[in-house]
Amino acid sequence: MLRFHVLRLLTMAHIQLQYQLIATGITKGFYRGWSLVSSQTVTLKQLGFPNQIGVPGSLIKEITALLQIKHPNIIELMEVVNSKEQTSLMLVYEFMDTSLTSFMRIHPKVMKNPQTIKGLLRQILLAVYHFHSFNIVHEGIKPKNMFIDPATNTLKITDFIWPRSISNSIIEDPYEESTFYYKAPEILVDKKQVTTAVDVWSVGCVFAEMVTGKPLFPAKTEFNQLAKIFSIMGTPSEETWPGISGIYPYLHVYSNCKPKDLRKLVPGLEPAGIDLLNKLLYMDPKKRIPAIKALEHEYFQN
């Protein structure tokens, strides 16, 4: 039923009257909408794509998978609606409005509570484990892609599809400049090295940020991101990361840094938390802890 109404609204000329833009000017292509049938508020995301290739294959695969995924910690993709001209798509998501970024800013006191952080990290890992079990890699995990219901502290992850599936999309990611803070070293080295482990790395970055309120690896440019990571986690070698010289011949360019003590960089985190953080941020992706194992870590035992 929702389909008909959203479709009708989309095809109307006075579309702006029916949908309020969320954060006009910051986030292009996002609308807040509501269903006339269920009176539910929804988030609408518009996607356009170039003509030559048809509907991008990655997009088809992801929408197919996401429509099947139902999880309390993943924002539900409720519907996919075609525009009348069949040139763009509108994705209909359940609506949430407080991102983890805003939540950390608005409620610094709540974030001081270790139990809150534990609860949020657990929910993040549950979501990540869930889509990893569908063999989906998110690749864009960052605080801006997580939403929190302040009443219950329920956290939900969103934004699988946009922007990464559609590299040539007419819509650009306005947050692109900070996305690389959360990128795993192996994809900074070689984009083809995508495995589920890249998400685990990002979760580690978010974990540290929840404790300190600041990004752990804030490089100025994507180019400097790898150096920033090396300066804290230590420059890898064939011993610490077997195979690294094969995928990245430029290692010798970087100065040889020793790993820093995360206890000093992430003060206030209990020892079990530091241990988990070290495992989430393990440089060699093959030895990085999988989400399911992280959930069993002793940090979550009390």
Q: Does 89 bind another protein (CB under 8 A)?
A: yes
Phi, psi of 52, rounded to the nearest 5 degrees: -65, -35
Residue 213, both tokens: 């309120």
Distance CA 298, CA 197 (A): 20
Of 26-34, 84-92, 152-160, 220-228, which segment contacts another protein by CB under 8 A? 84-92
Q: Does 276 bind another protein (CB under 8 A)?
A: no
Q: Does 170 bind another protein (CB under 8 A)?
A: no
Write down the residue that tokens 């569908």 correspond to: 134
- Of 51, 115, 221, 255, the one binding another protein by CB under 8 A: 51
Exposure of 203 in the CB half-sphere (CA atoms within 13 A)? 34
Write down the residue that tokens 């109307």 correspond to: 12
Q: Does 11 bind another protein (CB under 8 A)?
A: no
Residues 142 and 159 sit within 8 Å (Cβ to Cβ): no
CB nearer to another protein: give 60 or 170: 60
Distance CA 209, CA 142 (A): 10
> Which one-letter amino acid corresponds to residue 217?
F
CB of 54 to another protein, least distance (A): 4
- Of 290, 295, 297, 300, the one binding another protein by CB under 8 A: 290
Cα 80 to Cα 32, 68, 169, distances in angstroms: 15, 13, 17
Q: Does 118 bind another protein (CB under 8 A)?
A: no
Write down the residue that tokens 């790395």 correspond to: 201
Of 80-88, 115-123, 202-210, 255-263, which segment contacts another protein by CB under 8 A? 80-88
Q: Does 197 bind another protein (CB under 8 A)?
A: yes
CB of 50 to another protein, least distance (A): 9
Question: Is the peptide bond prior to 249 cis by the omega test (within 30 degrees of 0)?
Answer: no
Q: Does 293 bind another protein (CB under 8 A)?
A: yes
Residues 54 to 73 in contact with another protein, rule: CB under 8 A: 54-57, 60-61, 63-65, 67-68
CB of 89 to another protein, least distance (A): 7
CB nearer to another protein: give 57 or 271: 57
Contacts of 154 (CB under 8 A, 6+ apart): 72, 73, 123, 148
Residues 201 and 165 sit within 8 Å (Cβ to Cβ): no
Task: Give how many residues touch another protein by CB under 8 A.
Answer: 30
Which residues bind to another protein, rule: CB under 8 A? 51-57, 60-61, 63-65, 67-68, 80, 82, 86-87, 89, 135, 195-197, 285-290, 293
